[in-house]
Each structure stands twice: as C-alpha cells, then as structure tokens.
Structure 1
Amino acid sequence: MKSILIVEDEEAISRVLSAYLKKAGFNVIRALDGQQALDSFDESHPSLILLDIMLPEIDGFELLNLIRTKSSCPVIMLTAREGIDDRLAGLNGGADDYMTKPFIPEEVVARVNAVLRRPSQWSDGKRKRHFGSLFVDYSARQIYLNGAEVNLTPRDLSLLLFLTEHPNQIYTREQLIEHVWGMDYEGSDRAVDLSIKRLRQALSHWSSKEGEIRTLRGTGYQLWTG
C-alpha cells in the first residue's frame, strides 16, 4: 500500500484529505508543522507528499529544499496564495504539482494518482537534479537557485552542468578544458579559473551547507555536495 504524507497545519483540511485518501486505498501519515513533517518523512519514506506552504517551524519551501537534498519523492504543493511567484518557486524548487485552496478533495486524490503514474524525473539519473536550493534541468540546460533562473554564458553553463553531473569528483584545468572547451581549444587554461570565478559569483546565494565549488590547490576543482 502506498503512503501519503500530508503536511498541513489546518486540522480540518488535514482530516478531510486523510479521509478521502484512505478511501482511495492509501496509507496516510499526517504532520502539522515542518519539523514534524521532516521527522515523519525520514521515518516513513512516503510515496508522495502533500505539502502546505504556510507552516510553523519550517515553511513549505524550505522543507521542499531539505527533502530534495535526499529524495526525489513526488511533492504536490498546497497553498491559499494564488501568486504566480509562489507557483514558480514551488515548481522550480522541485515540486511535481501545485494546487490552490480551496480545492475539491476528489481532485486532490486524482492529482495524487496522476503524479504517482508519472515516471520519476530521476529515472535516468541525469535529466533533473537537486542540490538543495540549486536545481539543474539538463534537458532544458537551465539552472535555478532558490526558484530563480541563473543566467550564465554558454561556456559557464556547460562547465556548471558538467560539474553537477560529476559531483565530488576532482578535475584538473586540463581535464575541464578537454571535457568542456574541447580538444581543439587553443587558449590559456586560465580560462577555467575565470569561468569558475564567475560561477561562484552567480551562485553566491547557494548555501555552503548544500554545496560549493572548491579549489584544491595543486590539484584542480570540485563541485562539493557533502
């Protein structure tokens, strides 16, 4: 039996959703705040999460980021706010769907079933990936940080995509030139240093607890992710 974690601080809404999901054949775990939800997630490993944005302790966006550092579990965001910014922040942050209150419980169940039928976005290990608040879409060649797209030059983007495909591996300048610039590149390998510098500036708001581009003196560079 698949389990659904409902993270909703309004008791009445949580009870109604729970009743409808149980009727549909799901096992249900409920959490009333962000910290309780994080503990329940680690203990129960649910098949899907219904996640309210406005939560005590840890809000929904922060909780989504924490979950995405460890799991690709499907997440449907729930909110009373209709702003497009919230919707984009949720979807770009790794949510699989988004529903605005008030909603019909039957529709929530239908959305849950629809999301669970989708193939995992991590199924090929490459198409999309999360490093905390940093979200990488390899198919679209786009990078998002805290829900906002990071604008990079084509070469800097290619370098960052390569590093995120090989986290925690160390590469010399020469290796990065070969993989990113190409064997026919005739410029200085210092171009790697300048590109790394620009990437660090572009990712300056990325938490060092989630990851960072490290320089290993005398060796090369590494995208460290803990």
Structure 2
Amino acid sequence: MLTDRRVLVVEDDPTVREVACQYLRAAGFLVDQAADGVSALRIAARARPDLVVLDRMLPGIDGVEVCRRLRAEHGTAVVMLTALGSTEDRITGLEAGADDYLAKPFSPRELVLRVRSVLRRSVTDLTPEAAFDLGPFRLDPGGRTLTKDDAPLTLSVREHDLLAFFLKHPDQAFSREQLLRAVWRWEFGDLSTVTVHVRRLREKIEDDPAHPAWLTTVWGVGYRFSSGAGASASATPAGGDLA
C-alpha cells in the first residue's frame, strides 16, 4: 500500500511547502516537513521517510548536497523541485541521485502523481518474478535487489528500474524516448534524464565507465545492454551526444 508511506517535504517557501503537504496528506501519505537542509537531514535520520520531496535551493545546505547525503546514508528516494530552468541545473540534481524532478511552478496534483510513480516502483510485487542471472549480474525482482559478482549494487529507484529493464531485454537497442516511456512511464520529458541515469549506472557497473563493456551506446539509436562477457571487444565508446 502506498497510502501509509512516509514523505518528507523540504521547502523553504512556507506557502509552497504547505500546499505540497496538504495535497500529499489528502492522497493518504504520512507527511513530515522541513524548511532547510540541516533540519531535513535531522528529520530524515529520525523519521526514515520513504521519499523526500526536496527543493534544490535551500538555506544552509543546498538541496543537491542534501540529496547526495540522503542517497549515501539512507538510500532514500528523492523527487527534486527546481526553479532553475536550464537542462544543466536539472542534470546536477539527477547526478546527485534524485529519482525524479519537477520544475517550479508545478501542479500539486502532478507532484502527487510523481511521488506515487517513484514509490510504486519501489514496492515489492505481491506475485514477484523469479530471480535470474545474466553474466555476473543477478536480479531478484521480488526482493528488488541487484548484484554484480555477488556484491550488492547500491542504486536509486530509477537506476534499479533502468538496469532491471536492460537485464530483461538484453542485446536490444532502445532509444532514449523508448526508455523514458518504459522505465519512467513518461510520454514526454527531458531526454537528458535518461542520459544522466545511464552515466550513473555505468559508474556503478562498469570496470571502466569511459569504455563500457555492458551498457553500450548504439549511435543514432540509443543504448543496448550486451549479454556477452566479450562485449567490450565490439562496444562503441561512451562519448558523444548520448554519453
């Protein structure tokens, strides 16, 4: 059930914070709130929220640093709010570990939908698929665990879902648009979201992220997860527009 999940809203604008809290409570979530980065980290350590709605621009410790600490210390899912419109600003939040982002001004109803989407993908299915292996990787959909060479991979919700999707569809090339629809369930959105998550995945699963052997770029198309251990011999380098 998503309705008993705990959400922490971190926003220094009291009006925005109160509206977000009201809509999330009306949707059935348990909601805590904080007005700055220091309070957010203190409350997160105590309340252990399932997800944090996090403003990027905060007094004291900014949202990007708060996001990094939440991901490193608790593995908490994060939906980042940003009033900064450039792609680079959004990428910064995603690279810090945010699972999703929403630009201000935003619809409170869309915020609720984004929170539900991220949380839904972190809930174990009641009739889980069987665990399976692909090369050194093992995916357990029921336990939502991923390992490489028997070592657990520390992934955000979206990173987990993206790698799980690739493992289920090896040796197939997917465009960023297709991945945005299949993994994020977005019909439209910033394609750099996919690029950033691919980059972060490579840093966690590749021996040499600059020359990926598993998650390779298919020029003019998108990305492919190669099932063979010898994929590095024929893999395309990771540079260029797709990264």
Give the structure-1-normalised TM-score: 0.58
- Bigger mean CA offset, 86-95 vs 48-57: 86-95
1:25 deviates by 0.8
1:117 deviates by 0.7
5+ residue gaps, structure 1, are: 145-149, 156-179, 181-226
The amino acid that maps onto 1:113 is: R
Partner of 1:58: 61
Given candidates 29, 34, 39, the residue that maps to 1:36 is: 39
The amino acid that maps onto 2:203 is: I
1:95-110 matched pairs, under 5 angstroms: 95-110=98-113
1:154 deviates by 5.5
Partner SS for 2:147: coil
Q: Is the 8 A contact 2:202 2:212 kept in 1?
A: no
**What is the CA–CA distance in structure 2 between the aligned matches of 1:20 and 1:154, rounded to whole Å?**
43
**What is the CA–CA distance in structure 2 between the aligned matches of 1:68 and 1:96, rounded to whole Å?**
10
Given candidates 137, 143, 157, the residue that maps to 2:203 is: 143
Given candidates 147, 154, 169, the residue that maps to 1:129 is: 154
1:31 deviates by 0.3
The amino acid that maps onto 2:89 is: D
The amino acid that maps onto 1:15 is: E
**What is the CA–CA distance in structure 2 between the aligned matches of 1:21 and 1:15, rounded to whole Å?**
10
Alignment coverage as a number of residue pairs: 150
Q: Which runs of 4+ in 1 moved over 3 A?
A: 119-122, 125-128, 135-141, 150-155
1:91 deviates by 1.7
The 3 A distance-change label for structure 1 pair 12 and 142 is same
Given candidates 85, 89, 92, the residue that maps to 1:86 is: 89
Partner of 1:209: none
Structure 1 residues 127-161: Cα deviation after superposition (integer angstroms, max 9, x where no partner) = 8536xxxx9997756128xxxxx963569xxxxxx
**What is the CA–CA distance in structure 1 between the aligned matches of 2:35 and 2:87, rounded to whole Å?**
25
Give the structure-2-normalised TM-score: 0.54
1:204-223 matched pairs, under 5 angstroms: none
Partner SS for 1:18: helix
Partner of 1:69: 72
Q: Is the 8 A contact 2:55 2:81 kept in 1?
A: yes
**Two-structure CA RMSD over aligned residues (Å):** 3.1
**What is the CA–CA distance in structure 2 between the aligned matches of 1:50 and 1:95, rounded to whole Å?**
10
5+ residue gaps, structure 2, are: 124-140, 167-197, 214-228, 230-243
